[in-house]
Structure 1
Amino acid sequence: MSKIITTTDRLIIREKVIEDSEFILQHYNEPLFIKNIADKKIYTLDDAKQFLINGPIKSYQENGFGMFLIVLKDSNTPIGTCGLMKRDNTDDIDLGYALMSDYHKQGYVLEAAKAVLEYAKNEIKLTHILGYTALDNSDSMNVLKKLGFSELGESKLAGYDTPSLKFSRNL
């Protein structure tokens, strides 16, 4: 059973569990996910399970937060991820999100991100958060701007070959 982090009118935001591995395998191999975020090298169901154990589940245990699953309330269908990331090489925490292509342009990312930011402020007690996006991902930039983030310029994230655009916001 997974822990529900928060809900909105249309969405449930919950912790990821091993049983989500089929969705993770599908979602993380979508061409837009690979283009805008990264190829996480999740090619099998076993890769997805190991990713969940060593990524989100480990983050929940160590940090009390991580990347969460976005699920439609009315059908219990997983549609993407949204959550808080603590990277190894920085003290900052950043907001991350990605949706399955079929669910783009329906306001789900904005709805999920607003709920996660409230969670970050009220439950994790964060006062400041970052956001990163690929330099050519205008949809993601627009989401961050609608959420009140300010653009800080290009930044090189560890583990990525190309620079990202860095954003910041106080909570």
Structure 2
Amino acid sequence: MIFPELVTERLYLVEVNKEHAQGIFNNFSNPAVLQYYGMDPMTELKQAEKLVEHFRNSFLSSHSIRWAILRKEDNRFTGTIGLNNLSKGMKRAEIGFEIHPDYWRTGMTSEALKAVLDYSFTELGLHRMGAVTFLDNVASIGLLEKHGFVQEGILRSYLFQNGQSHDARVFSVLKNESTNLEDAL
């Protein structure tokens, strides 16, 4: 099974592999990155290495696709983006992403999101893309809305983090609602 690499103006989206484990650890051990992620911070590199394996196994079993986001200018790892709960038969998936704070508000996540949506709707033939966010994750909500996602409702006690349950917003965008977002970037 060949991993689908994507290229944008400033980014390479490639398969997450062992060489990205340190970057993943840097992101997933950072409380600022995980504030709205739905998991507790990693404490050892081994956890990041296991997550890399999980991403690979989930891809091989066709349950998900997770890309490492690399800057073209220096091949620097900035974060990941991917499709979760991928169901090609039902023509749907959920998008998820995380990026290091050094790259927040640079447009990189928006650029990566557009590429993944384009790939999902054209190459994979998906019809629906979902997303789940914490209620007050203003940055992700704004990014999703910029790319045509609409809120469908609230999922009660859907996320569990830091020893407690949290409500979540659920969003979606459909293939026929997806527009040309060149101006949005």
TM-score (norm 2): 0.82
Partner of 2:166: 162
Q: Which runs of 4+ in 1 moved over 6 A?
A: none
Q: CA deviation at 1:39?
A: 2.8
Count of matched residue positions in the alignment of Structure 1 and Structure 2: 167
CA RMSD of aligned residues (A): 2.2
Structure 2 vs 1, CA of residues 3 and 48 (structure 1 numbering), >3 Å: closer, same or farther? same
- Provide the identity percentage: 25
Question: Corresponding residue for 2:9?
Answer: 9
| Cα displacement (A) at 1:42 | 2.6
Q: 1:153 to 1:37 in 2, by over 3 A?
A: same
Q: Which residue of 1 aligns with 2:179?
A: none
The equivalent residue for 2:103 is 103
1:134, CA displacement in angstroms?
1.1
Question: 1:56-99: per-residue Cα shift (whole Å, max 9, x none)?
Answer: 11111011742211100010001011111117xxx752011111
Q: Give the aligned residue type for 2:153.
A: G
Give the strand-richer structure, 1 or 2.
2
* Residues in 1 aligned to 2:142 and 2:127: alpha-carbon distance in whole angstroms: 22
Gaps of 5+ in 1: none
Give the Å deviation of 1:157: 7.1
Equivalent residue for 1:66?
65
- Residue 47 of structure 1 aligns to a residue in which SS? helix
1:142-163 Cα shifts (integer Å, max 9, x gaps): 0000000111121147662212
Q: CA deviation at 1:33?
A: 2.0
* AA in 1 matched with 2:173: R
TM-score for both structures, normalised by structure 1 = 0.89
Larger Rg belongs to: 2
